[in-house]
Amino acid sequence: MRNLTICVSIILGLVAANAFAESELVLVANKNTSVKKININHLKKAYFGQYYKGAPFKQVVDQDENQDTYHKFYSEVLHQGVTGIKTNWSRLLFTGKKMPPVQLKSDAEVKAFLAEHENAIGYIDQKEVDDSVKVIEVIGKYKYPSS
């Protein structure tokens, strides 16, 4: 009987953990963009204000830094901590070279922004994808700079 109770507890724990598991993030753009994919290194450059000639997107959209989505995107997709992000943008802002990405409060706001800005990209929860945005495939694996 004790083993059955333990098994049931484990199964219920796994089911609950799965139900509250974080969902996947996807990179999205205006539904009319011709871009289908972007290299992870180009994506990181875009989010760190290092635009390059021929960049498919001219503006990046962030989620509010108080959102879990924001932290997940930078840590799991771009492999960067919040301190590094803030340091980078503080430096660029101070020197007057760049403005940080627009921060929006929700996936719905990101989708609305992208609907009106054809050359912008953002990220949202995969569950929130609809026909108002186009999912952009992120290809490659981030290559850490050699020290």
Does domain 23-139 correspond to CATH entry 3.30.1330.60? no
Q: Where do we find the tokens 């409060």?
A: 105
pLDDT tens sequence for the chain (147 residues): 555 444 433 443 333 233 323 459 999 999 999 999 999 988 988 898 887 777 788 899 999 999 899 999 998 888 888 888 888 888 888 888 788 889 999 999 999 999 999 999 999 999 999 999 999 999 886 555 444
Backbone dihedral region of 17: left (phi > 0), alpha (psi from -120 to 50 degrees) or beta? alpha
With b for 16 or more beta-carbon neighbours within 10 A and e for fewer, the 40-62 pattern comes to: bebbbebbbbeeeeeebbebbbb
